[in-house]
Amino acid sequence: RIAYVNGQYVPHDQAAVHIEDRGYQFADGVYEVCEVTGGRMVDERRHMARLVRSLGEIRIAMPMSLAALGVVLRETIRRNRVHDGFVYLQVTRGVARRDHYFPDPSTPPSIVVTARAADPRKADAQALQGIAVITTPDNRWGRVDIKTVGLLPNVLAKQAAKEAGAREAWFVDAEGRVTEGGSTNAWIVTQDGKLVTRQADNAILRGITRTVMMEVAEKLQLRVEERAFTVPEALAAKEAFVTSATNFAMPVVRIDGKPVGEGRPGPVARALREHFHETAEIAG
Ligand code: PMP
């Protein structure tokens, strides 16, 4: 495997950044994960727009033009011969002696790009079963709309899920409402067939898959309500599911060990999953 690190393509097992990289010292950086299908990126334009926004919110300069970045992403995919899988991009505030204040503006941001293959049939098989989730208090900071590499609460929540035999953890705010999953957005289908997912404010990441699924829902003539829902509401729902670039729409069949609806994947999540790639932008 090959990784792109600060201007060079290097063997993945030798790819490294300096110990004084601010990503390592302070989690002072942002990232994107983009699905690759048939060797092509899915929703590249939206992922790049979100990257630009994340960088702007934490005041890191764009390390290169979007066009140049596109070339690097494509080249990394090509060099790794990824047909189906993911491309990962991380930008940090660069390497400087450890000090909380921003480094000198001349410090170049660090960029890392990796790509790896993933068998889409595995996710499809999982979608037929559905997944279990646990719930956990949302103890994250107030700007999780920025896609930073500071993911410790997410790591701890997802590990707790794994140890409980579940795949994902749903964060629940102080009012008892679900914000999102550790690495996914959370949705329910109400008994009267409405899709509900939390409004994209500072308390969730505005998932690209979430945005595209809203368009898919519109095509399927499903109504979408952007509002928060509680765990009891999710348990009483017809269906629940999560969305992300790595999961598309993944049915949730159990929450904290209790079944959602009939405890089986439902038709709405299946339809959204099936129609996702015709609505997503997949460009050369
Ligand atoms: N929320 C969080 C916390 C995430 O990490 C992710 C995945 N990056 C998502 C939601 C889903 O975002 P997307 O659909 O853009 O993958």
Number of helices and strands (H, E) in the chain? 8, 15
The highest-level CATH class for domain 2-118 is alpha beta
**Beta carbons within 10 angstroms of residue 203's beta carbon:** 19
Q: How far is the CA of 276 from the centre of ligand 1 (A)?
A: 16
Q: Which two tokens stand for residue 202?
A: 């500072």
Domain limits, the chain: 2-118, 123-279
Domain 123-279 in this protein, CATH class: alpha beta
Our answer on whether the CB atom of 21 is closer than 6 Å to any ligand 1 atom is: no
Ligand 1 pocket mutation pick from 36, 47, 205, 276 by most atoms within 8 angstroms of CB: 205
Contact call for residues 186 and 178 (beta carbons, < 8 A): yes
Q: Is 147 a catalytic residue?
A: yes
User: Among the options 122, 147, 162, 194, which is catalytic?
Assistant: 147
Q: What is the pLDDT of residue 283?
A: 81
What pLDDT score does 182 carry? 98
What is the pLDDT, as a whole number, of residue 169? 98
Q: Enumerate residue ranges in the chain where pLDDT < 70.
A: 284
Measured distance CA(235)–CA(261) in Å, rounded:
7
Pocket flag, ligand 1, residue 208 (CB < 6 Å):
yes
Position 239 scores a pLDDT of 98
